[in-house]
């Protein structure tokens, strides 16, 4: 449904608003006392100083049905930011996607006929916005949107909805990456796509001011994110007998990157490592641990050690009790439900590693949703366009598209500050 309205015409609340405390689970009580929030949540029937605000969740997405696998792979292999194939990208991309489609369709069929990432993204964004309406009445109402890079709802579709909902008339929107650790191949690619459709649909100088964007581009060590991961790990460790629990090896698994991306200076490996270290700090370094990498595609060199090789190596060395932790994913999808559950763990069990398990993904974790709201609330109140890191390019970056995208978002700083003011 499209919402068109004028903020000036919205009625003011007739009764005083009451305040209460929403306490994120990771905050001490003394710190939580300063987090006064409005109850009931502010809606579009109430006046806010700078709302409404569009909260756009960006992610790679996944095919919702088996029939969607072909188009999903076509878009994925066409993206040189994610899978760089050089000058032959336009030829090799479609060829690889066609050849891989039947195999990947079977994989999605085995996990229920499609990816659950859209369901979880829509749920997480909606629940986060409910919390933001209470915590940040000055930017309410907060309207949830999802923009996937390779599957519906695509960035183009999301942007058209934004314009239909009236945000093209100097409305505020926040591009909130659901990759906690920044990479040019993931968040960077999504921002490139967002910038592309902004230019196509609004032009360089849009009438009415256009959508006013700011970006949450990374949040790898946010306390709530760390707490959500740690809680799921503790829950899985509790399933092991007490006498072996401290010896269970924790294997953090993140999506790998081509070494060509790593070697040009991409920050992703460092930020994933920061997340892992923060989680282990929260756990008191209770167990031995390692970081490994999954989901490499093609014959070129990718960041390792690879997850499946790591698990099989430890099982053969006598480490039968292992917990896999998907540390760079915010919900279940093919990489967890098929690659880890049905390939890696299944093969480990066949080799005698019957104690190999996986920690639950974040999915509907209330701790995680509180963390999302906290990240967003701090961003909304800061007046900043992005993190300081986003303004600097990778050392070896030669992408003109990346340069133009960064110029666009950096140049919106003044517009965002005017909206905050």
Residue in 125, 130, 108, 149 with CA at minimum distance from that of residue 56: 125
The whole-angstrom distance between residue 54's C-alpha and the CA centroid of its chain comes to 16
Residues labelled as active-site residues: 222, 374
SS3 35: coil
User: How does DSSP assign 89-126, residue by residue?
Assistant: HHHHHHHHHHHHHHHHHHHHHHTTSS-SHHHHHHHHHH
Could you tell me which residues come within 8 angstroms of residue 280 by beta carbon, excluding any fewer than 6 positions away?
250, 289
Cβ atoms of residues 269 and 302 within 8 Å: no
Backbone region of residue 285 per phi and psi (left: phi > 0; alpha: psi in -120 to 50; beta: other values): left
3-state helix, strand, coil in the chain (%, to 5): 50, 15, 35
Tokens of 280: 């282990």
Could you tell me which residues come within 8 angstroms of residue 28 by beta carbon, excluding any fewer than 6 positions away?
none
- What sign has the CA pseudo-torsion 356, 361, 367, 372? positive
SS3 292: strand
Which H or E element spans position 412?
A: none
Cβ atoms of residues 216 and 254 within 8 Å: no
User: How does DSSP assign 123-165, residue by residue?
Assistant: HHHHHHHHHHHHH-GGGPPEEEEEEESSSSSBHHHHHHHHHHT
Q: Which residues on adjacent β-strands are paired with residue 145?
A: 56
């Amino acid at each position: 449904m499209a919402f068109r309205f004028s903020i000036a015409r919205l009625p003011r609340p007739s009764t005083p608003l009451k305040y209460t405390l929403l306490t994120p689970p990771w905050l001490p009580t003394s710190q939580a006392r300063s987090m006064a929030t409005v109850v009931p949540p502010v809606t579009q029937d109430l006046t806010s100083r700078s709302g409404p605000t569009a909260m756009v969740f960006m992610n790679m997405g996944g095919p919702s049905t088996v029939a969607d696998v072909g188009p999903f792979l076509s878009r994925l292999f066409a993206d040189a930011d994610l899978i760089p194939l050089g000058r032959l990208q336009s030829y090799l991309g479609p060829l690889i996607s066609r050849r891989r489609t039947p195999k990947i369709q079977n994989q999605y069929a085995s996990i229920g006929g499609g990816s659950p990432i859209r369901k979880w993204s829509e749920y997480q964004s909606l629940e986060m916005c409910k919390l933001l309406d209470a915590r940040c009445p000055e930017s309410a109402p907060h309207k949830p949107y999802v923009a996937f890079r390779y599957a519906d709802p695509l960035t183009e579709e999301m942007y058209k909805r934004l314009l239909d909902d009236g945000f093209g008339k100097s409305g505020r929107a926040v591009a909130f990456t659901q990759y906690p650790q920044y990479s040019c191949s993931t968040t960077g690619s999504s921002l490139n796509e967002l910038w592309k459709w902004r230019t196509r649909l609004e032009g360089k100088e849009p009438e009415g001011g256009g959508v006013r964007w700011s970006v949450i581009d990374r949040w790898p060590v946010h306390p709530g994110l760390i707490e959500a991961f740690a809680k799921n790990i503790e829950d899985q460790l509790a399933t092991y007998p007490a006498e072996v629990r401290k010896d269970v090896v924790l294997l953090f698994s993140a999506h790998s990157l081509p070494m060509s991306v790593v070697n040009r200076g991409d920050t992703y490996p460092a930020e994933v490592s920061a997340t892992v270290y923060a989680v282990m700090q929260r756990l008191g370094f209770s167990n031995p641990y390692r970081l490994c990498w999954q989901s490499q595609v093609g014959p070129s060199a990718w960041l390792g050690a690879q997850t499946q090789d790591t698990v099989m190596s430890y099982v053969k060395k006598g480490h039968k009790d292992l917990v896999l932790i998907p540390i760079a994913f915010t919900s279940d999808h093919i990489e967890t439900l098929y690659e880890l559950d049905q390939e890696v763990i299944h093969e480990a069990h066949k080799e005698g590693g019957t104690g190999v398990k996986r920690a639950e993904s974040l999915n509907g974790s209330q701790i995680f949703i509180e963390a999302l709201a906290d990240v967003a609330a701090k961003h909304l109140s800061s007046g900043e366009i992005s993190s300081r890191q986003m303004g600097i390019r990778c050392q070896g970056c030669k992408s003109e598209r990346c340069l133009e995208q960064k110029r666009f978002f950096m140049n919106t700083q003044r517009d965002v500050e005017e909206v905050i003011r």
